[in-house]
Structure 1
Amino acid sequence: MSPTFIFPTLFLLASLAACQLQPPFLGASQPCYETEQDGVQGWCEHKGCCAGGNFVSGLCPNYPDQVGCCYSSNECGAECTETCTDDGHQDLACELLAKYEAGQLFLKPDHFSPNGNDPYDGASPLSEIRDTCYGRQAKRSAYGTAPGGCVCLQKALLQTMLDYSTQYFDTTGLALQINSMAGSSHSSSNSWHYEGNTMDVACSTPLYHCDEVLDFCRSRDAIELCFPGSSCGSHETWVHCAMPMDEGA
């Protein structure tokens, strides 16, 4: 084969490789991330939160139908501009998001209450983990007792969620379901949820593992626990696990 054929071919392959977009985080696996518009790499966002409607459906197949490829900014979290301490927080959130995309963790993409869904407020567990992965604050809801505004998710919460979800998937082959973190409205205005250190873990279906969640959170020095049969009331199908705050938080 002549050099005049080899060299142009190699040059073309090298050029294509140089133009290929890098995944936004380790383990990212959506077609959206391979596209860009006006120099903005696509990212998976709820349609109602994509500023300017610069949104393409069908490029985030591991997400709910209302999530697609956004090429602008997160309109729902526009107020969340403060910088959070990053002592591994961002990497932990990205690991969790990669597990979600791989079907090994279920982060609820909306709220049980329509007050946070119509319109969607950007404060579901899925949005909060995604925003933390991208180096942003997590959004809080602003209905019921929820104070609105933004909060930094705490490292102990992220680490506990990652470790237990990994253990649960490795043991059962099922995705752990996280129903709520800093978003939604909770029992009181001083709920630990609003501090960014708390998760509600579904534990009754399809496999009952409430005791395992409870024991795991206790082993990680949880500062508040509510569970089926506890004095908290309700919590008959989930464990409320509040983890220690970051030092200095």
Structure 2
Amino acid sequence: MFSQTFKLLLLYLLVSLVNAEIGDRCYHEGAAGTCQKTSKCSSGATVRGLCPNDPDDVRCCFPNYPCNLDTFPGKCLDKTKNTCNGPHGYISGLCPGNNDVQCCLSKSTVDKFLDFVETTYNLAVQYKNGNSAAKKSSNELVMEWIRHEAYNDAPWKILIGGVDSDWIAFAKGKGHPMFEQFADPHFCGQFIGTDHLFASMNAAFRFPPLEDPLINRGDMGGWGGDLVTLYAEWHDAGQPPPRIFAEGRILGNEGTFKLEDFIQDVDAFHMGVGLSVLPAPPIHVVTRNYYKPKGPYRTRFSRFLEDRFGDRAGAKKIAYNMLAGDGYTKPGDKDSVVVALRTGAIQKTAPFTPLPSMIDRKILDLFIDGFIDALESLAADKGKAC
């Protein structure tokens, strides 16, 4: 009798060890859950096999299973039982469980900024409706509001013109705020400065690119201006190996042409050029489309390489002209403003730096190669998730 009782007790203990109890902790890819009947898991985010040897309807249930998309934060919910209050609705393919379990993205700093752009646009429309003398489009007025504090000094006024001071006064009178930066949706840890973004956008909007390999004020107001100051930094640093220096700075977080600057230049190029084609949609529609989850920001660098340069050979010619060639208003018409502002930017960044046209062409080509190396590396469009 004792032996039989002992065997039954041992069997019970073994079953207890291999079967998870309801409420026991379970884990999957860093997320913590509990073993629950699937009918009791309100989120619907369940994973098989984490509550071993239990019935099929007992699985690991995750009440707050994360489902980040790029840098947009979210959590998995059963859409038949829960309402997604996020701005993008449910997105499939990011969650464990059946097809009803989908990702509800939370409102990010990107979304808050896009709301700000729309509010600014509506205010610009209101200003234009009450001011018949206002000649600029509501889209350009939005660009001017966001850039006016940091990018309306003498060089910028020469480059693309000053802002509409009456519009600025009108917006200030309404107590309209500024929005300084938002987290980039594709590169975790990178932040997009809105004043730089919209100043460069304004330049690309007013001066879209000319036929290759010509450069113009739109280039100078974006990637080209940053390349010019990077050259000055390189010379001021004692002229280290130019190719390594240029690539390292652009892919890093130091100097006047770091990764976040390049992101802003490229985004400004895409949206500014798009808005220059009339009739253009409202700027808040363009920005929302660009920064929506899985939006064009994901392929920003590969499209920039193709749209602005064509290929590496084209990039080399255009980058050289940006550093040492003439600027143009249109084919055949040179623009002395580009050359003058380029010289001024170099001297302001590092006084007494020789102009790029004055140094050995082979050395300058190596510097340009470093710029293109960085661009081609980024053109893989892999991003960096949080």
- TM-score normalised to the size of structure 1? 0.28
Bigger helix share: 2
Bigger strand share: 1
Task: Work out which of the two has the higher radius of gyration on C-alpha atoms and give 1 or 2.
Answer: 2
